[in-house]
Structure formats: C-alpha cells, structure tokens
Amino acid sequence: MDILNSILEQPFLSELRNGLFKTKSFIMKKCFLTILFLTLQIPFSWAQSAEYRAKKEAALKEDSPFTKIINRELPATIAYEDDQIIAFKPLRNQAPVHWLIVPKKPIPTINDIEEEDALLLGKMFLVAKKLAAESEIAETGYRLSMNINEDAGQSVFHLHLHLMGGKKLGPMVDQE
C-alpha cells in the first residue's frame, strides 16, 4: 500500500487525482483509475522473466564466448579483425552466408551503449558492408540484425551484429 500511496502522491498524479475527484464525473474517475492501473501494470508486463534475468546475471559475471574468441581461448573462423572489431562465423549458421560482427569492447546490449560508442557502432556497419561485398551478397541482398534481451532471443550478452544472406530470407518476424 505504501507504493500505491507514493505513486498517488507524485505531483502529476496528485494534481490529476485532486482535480478529478473534486468533479462528480464518474467517467473521469474511471479514466483516472484505468490509467493508474495501467501505470502500475506496465513495468511488470514488460519485465524479463526471472529465469532469463538469472541466466543473464550469471553470464555477465563471466567472459562471454565472444570475449573468449577475441582472446583466442575459443576457436573461430575469423573473416575480419582490427583493434576494435572482430567478425567470425557463428556456431549455427542461419543462412548460407552468416557472420557475427562483434566489438572487442564488451557491451552487453544496445541498452548499454554510450555516446562514446557511436563510432564503434558505425564501424560495425562498415565491416558488414565489406563482408557482404567479399561474400558476394551485396547486390543480391542481406540482412543485418541485433537481438536485444529476452523477447528478441539474445543468448550471448556481448553486443553483436548478424550479417546473413546468400538466399531469400523470410520475414523478420512472424506475419500475423
């Protein structure tokens, strides 16, 4: 109940509440209560599952598989490397041409980038362009994608850009 009271005491809500409850309009009161209910529900409905959060927290305590590839602790078929970026074949190809383009700086998700990372992210796209040309898919077409957190299926918490092509790719998401 303390959380509810603290939310109701927020200036924008308390002004709204005081103004609405001074009126006798049932519809206005109902709208206010609906907005309040939705405000309380949104953080919970959009949160990651407990299982995913636990997996992510455990993974973040250790070096990612990509960091291990960067450090040559795990083998990989490397297509590109410089002092900031590495690109290699994933363990499970999802298309005839599939590269992972990874910054050497460990950034868990796009949600964790900073303004100082802008050039690094731009360079990832330039590497994708170069690899697409070298893989002879630049003209036929390719897909670049990043999976961020649970709903997108992120399983490695080290930012990476998928470059996929070499065939007609299906829709990005199920078409409903």
Q: Is residue 171 part of a domain?
A: no
> Do residues 63 and 147 both lie within one domain?
yes
Residue, of 61 and 26, whose pLDDT is higher: 61
13 and 80: one domain?
no
Closest C-alpha among 91, 92, 102 to residue 67? 102
**Is 170 inside any structural domain?**
no
- Per-position DSSP letters for 113-138, written without gaps between them: --GGGHHHHHHHHHHHHHHHHHTT-T
Please tell me the distance from the alpha carbon of residue 84 to that of residue 123, in angstroms, as a whole number.
9
Q: What is the pLDDT of residues 121-170, one digit of tens each?
A: 999 999 999 999 999 999 999 999 999 998 888 899 999 999 999 999 98
Active site residue 98: no
pLDDT at residue 44 is higher than 50: no
Q: Which domain holds residue 32?
A: 2-45
Please determine, for residue 81, whether its predicted confidence score (pLDDT) is greater than 50: yes
Examine the domain organization and report whether 81 and 122 are in the same domain.
yes
Q: Note whether 30 and 69 are same-domain residues.
A: no
Say if residue 79 is in the same domain as residue 106: yes
pLDDT of 51 over the 60 cut: yes
157 within some domain: yes
Consecutive H or E run containing 162: strand 161-165
Which residue(s) pair with 103 in the sheet? 85
Residues 122 and 64 in one domain: yes
Catalytic residue among 98, 158, 160, 162: 160
Whole-angstrom distance, CA of residue 154 vs CA of residue 56 = 10
Residue 113 lies in a domain: yes
- Residue 101 CA to residue 24 CA, distance in Å, equals 60
Exposed (0-12), middle (13-18) or buried (19+): which is 131, by Cβ within 10 Å? buried
Contact 7, 40 (CB under 8 A): yes
The answer to whether residue 161 is domain-embedded is: yes
How many domains does the chain contain in total?
Answer: 2
